[in-house]
DNA sequence: GTTAGTGCAAACCTTTTGCAGCTCT
DNA sequence: AGAGCTGCAAAAGGTTTGCACTAAC
């Protein structure tokens, strides 16, 4: 990684957009926007709150929820469920990237992104087929990544040999 | 619609599958299975509970949750979020149908289903691209149906004329 | 100076858990 | 008979709301 802030341009785009909607750029919101734009991960409200607290220990969890709600309603972030792999919380990502599907490994929790023409094609077909005006789209695919397929096979063998152990769901790597 | 029970065959399929997993077909589960297979809607736990109570007033909400969890883990039903259009609850449908996307109108809440080859194509591409073993897939598209696009335009005009009224989100039709 | 936004506490909604008693097979 | 399932009560997890105070414009 270079030392230059990689999100300088997108961040500005986001801030422009907010100003247009008459939204105040408070210190708290700047912190949260930075985190959402910069962290490569898919953050949930709690994780975002923990990260934000490092920069401003007085920042409240409620402010995180309110900011996320506002960003979602302004169309600046997308809300994901990631197949509820880690619970029922929601995850967030900027809408600056091209549309993509999320591929979630149900064993290790790893999330891959898939960009590909079927997504655009689906969009176009839905629009023309129903005369539908698409505002948001979300595709999530759950299953087992190449790595975990092998490990799962191994685990099944072990369970078969030791019937005393129930087939508990393993924690992420 | 004919007078014959339309789900006699699928219901048996489901029951077979459950027996294979060593699951008991209790009275409560039969009621819930019938409702899920037969009602054309996408039911959430609460609605399913209300409908089930009509057939057995003693049936408990917890049993609904436990049954849904079991059906989901057995791969017999799919869990949907429907873009959280109506709150954060989950919706359920049998897995007997072919894979399809759910198209949710953000104004009236109506849900359409879209079957089309982009979904299969996406599946195949993800499998081959990542060597991924897909267990479940979910595509949800939110926006405005043809009917509501016109109504929304009308609403926007009204709001522009009477700035006193805030642009509240309208209830479903 | 106004009005929007924040923090705090408390409520809320959906879902899960512990446990005693009941019921399918 | 006995494991599996149910009902009840209570808790948990995630998110929202009411209200007084604060800060951005």
Is the same domain home to B24 and B56? yes
Asked if A72 and A42 sit in the same domain, the reply is: yes
pLDDT for A154 equals 85
Interface mutation vs chain A, best among B141, B144, B145, B167, most A CBs within 10 Å: B141
Chain A environment of B77 (Cβ under 8 Å): none
Any idea which residue has 């209790």 for tokens?
B26
Contact B137 A140 (CB under 8 A): yes
Q: Determine the average pLDDT of the residues in A4-26.
A: 70
The confidence score (pLDDT) of residue A162 equals: 52
A76 and A50 in a common domain: yes
Indicate whether A105 pLDDT > 50: yes
pLDDT value of position B114: 98
Closest residue in chain A to residue B116, using alpha carbons only = A122
CA of B25 to C1' of D1 (A): 19
Closest-CA residue of B relative to A121 is B118
The pLDDT of residue B35 = 95
Answer whether residue B158 is part of any domain: no
Give chain A positions within 8 Å (CB) of B91: none
Nearest residue to B45 (alpha-carbon basis) of B95, B86, B2, B99: B86
Residue A156 in any domain: the answer is no
Do A20 and A76 lie in one domain? The reply is yes
Residue of B46, B41, B45 lying closest to B110 (CA atoms): B41
Query: What would the pLDDT profile of B15-31 be if each residue is shown by its tens digit?
Result: 777 777 778 899 999 99
Domain membership of residue B1 (yes or no) is no
A61: the nucleotide nearest its CA (via C1') is C7
Q: What integer pLDDT is reported at residue B169 of this predicted model?
A: 40
Residue range B75-100: mean pLDDT, rounded: 94
Last residue of a domain, one of A31, A65, A96: A96
Residues A34 and A61 in one domain: yes
d(C-alpha A32, C-alpha A14), whole Å: 12
- Percent residues over pLDDT 70 in chain A: 85
Radius of gyration of chain A (CA): 20
Q: If interface means Cβ-Cβ distance under 8 Å, which residues of chain B face chain A?
A: 79, 81, 83-84, 88, 101, 103, 105-106, 112, 114, 116, 118-119, 121-123, 125-126, 129-146, 149
- Residue A133 belongs to what domain range? 98-149
B28 and B87, same structural domain?
A: yes
Is residue A107 domain-shared with residue A66, that is, in the same domain?
Answer: no
Q: How confident is the model at residue A78 (pLDDT cuts 50, 70, 90)?
A: very high
The reply to whether A28 has its C-beta less than 7 Å from any atom of strand C is yes
Is the predicted pLDDT of residue A171 greater than 70, yes or no?
Answer: no
**Lookup: tokens for B44:** 């959430």
- What stretch of H or E contains B76? none
**Quick one: B63 and B109 in the same domain?**
no
Measure the CA–CA gap between B14 and B17, rounded to whole angstroms.
5
* Chain C bases near protein Cβ (<7 Å): 4-10, 13-18, 23-25
What is the residue-averaged pLDDT of chain B?
86
Query: Is the Cβ pair A118, B121 closer than 8 Å?
Result: yes
In total, how many domains does chain A have? 2
B14 shares its domain with B87: yes
Give the span between the Cα atoms of B26 and B67, in whole angstroms. Answer: 11
Higher pLDDT, B3 or A40: A40
Same domain, residue pair B16 and B91:
yes
Q: How far is the CA of B109 from the C1' of C9 (A)?
A: 34
Mean pLDDT of B98-102: 96
> Do B45 and B61 meet the contact criterion of CB atoms below 8 Å apart?
yes
What mean pLDDT comes out for the span A143-160?
A: 86
Q: How many CA atoms lie within 13 A of B19 on its CB side?
A: 7
What's residue A3's pLDDT? 44
Q: Which residue has the higher pLDDT, A162 or B166?
A: A162
Reply yes or no on whether the pLDDT at B36 is more than 90. Answer: yes
Confirm whether B157 is domain-assigned. Answer: no
Q: Tell me whether residue B73 is in a domain.
A: yes
List chain B residues with CB under 8 Å of A102: none
Residue B72 lies in a domain: yes
Residue A23 in domain: yes
pLDDT score of A126? 98
State whether A125 and B145 contact (CB < 8 Å).
no
Examine the domain organization and report whether B18 and B75 are in the same domain. yes
Contact B118 A135 (CB under 8 A): no
CA distance A134 to A81: 19
State the CATH number of the domain containing residue B82.
1.10.10.10
pLDDT score for A130:
97
CATH number at residue A106: 3.30.1490.190
Tell me whether strands A101-105 and A133-144 are parallel, antiparallel or unpaired: parallel
B45 plus B108 within the same structural domain: no
Residue among B105, B118, B140 whose CB faces A118 most closely? B118
Show which of B96, B113, B138 is a domain's final residue. B96
**pLDDT value at residue A39:** 87
In a domain, B52, yes or no: yes
Report which listed range, A167-171, B10-14, B104-108, is most confident. Answer: B104-108
Q: Are B32 and B48 in contact (CB under 8 A)?
A: yes
Find the residue in A nearest to B169 (Cα).
Answer: A73
Instruction: Tell me what the mean pLDDT of segment B146-167 comes to.
Output: 73
In this prediction the pTM is 0.86
Do A122 and B101 make contact, defined as CB atoms within 8 angstroms?
A: yes
């Amino acid at each position: 990684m270079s030392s230059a802030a990689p999100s300088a341009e997108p961040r500005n785009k986001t801030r422009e957009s907010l100003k247009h909607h008459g939204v105040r750029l408070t210190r708290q919101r700047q912190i949260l926007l930075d985190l959402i734009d910069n962290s490569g991960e898919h953050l949930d409200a709690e994780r975002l709150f923990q990260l934000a607290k490092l920069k401003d220990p007085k920042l409240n969890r409620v402010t995180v929820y309110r900011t996320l709600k506002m960003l979602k309603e302004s169309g600046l972030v997308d809300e994901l469920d990631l197949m509820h792999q880690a619970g029922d919380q929601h995850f967030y990502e900027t809408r600056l990237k091209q549309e993509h599907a999320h591929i979630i490994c149900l064993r290790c929790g790893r999330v891959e992104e898939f960009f590909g023409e079927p997504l655009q094609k689906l969009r176009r077909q839905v629009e023309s087929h129903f005369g539908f005006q698409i505002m948001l789209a979300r595709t999530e695919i759950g299953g087992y990544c190449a790595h975990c397929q092998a490990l799962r096979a191994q685990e099944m063998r072990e369970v078969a040999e030791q019937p005393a152990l129930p087939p508990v769901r393993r924690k992420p790597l």
